[in-house]
């Protein structure tokens, strides 16, 4: 599903990764971007490689690790492991 380098993925639908324990994380190749246009990602784990996130990022019960760059005025680069929901209430200026 997500296997190509340097690819822009448009998130227009609600995706359930069906992995609530995060046992099978999805590794996003380098140079990719997720552009959220009304959709969401739920129930799983993502591993970023400087993955760009744009738009209104909607994730529920998603564990993130690796590096993600939030192209937004109120979120900064994330380089940690944890639940994405923890980040929403802890904005850091770019």
Instruction: Name the domain count of the chain.
Output: 1
Q: Rounded CA gap, 76 and 35, in Å?
A: 16
Structural domain includes residue 38? yes
The answer to whether position 91 is within a domain reads no
pTM: predicted TM-score of the whole model, two decimal places:
0.73
pLDDT band at 71 (very low <50, low <70, confident <90, very high): low
User: Does a structural domain hold residue 70?
Assistant: yes
In a domain, 92, yes or no: no
What is the domain range of residue 70? 8-83
Residues in the chain: 94
The answer to whether position 54 is within a domain reads yes
Q: Are 7 and 28 in contact (CB under 8 A)?
A: no
Per the domain annotation, does 45 fall within a domain? Answer: yes
* pLDDT exceeds 90 at position 92: no
> Is 79 among the domain residues?
yes
């Amino acid at each position: 599903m997500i296997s190509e380098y340097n690819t822009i993925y448009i998130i227009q639908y609600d995706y359930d990764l069906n992995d609530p324990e995060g046992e099978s994380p999805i590794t996003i190749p380098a140079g990719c971007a997720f552009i959220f246009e009304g959709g969401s990602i739920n129930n799983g784990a993502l591993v970023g490689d400087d993955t760009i996130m744009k738009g209104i990022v909607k994730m529920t019960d998603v564990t993130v690790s690796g590096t993600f760059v939030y192209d937004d005025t109120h979120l900064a680069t994330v380089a940690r492991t944890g639940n994405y929901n923890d980040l929403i209430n802890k904005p850091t200026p770019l």
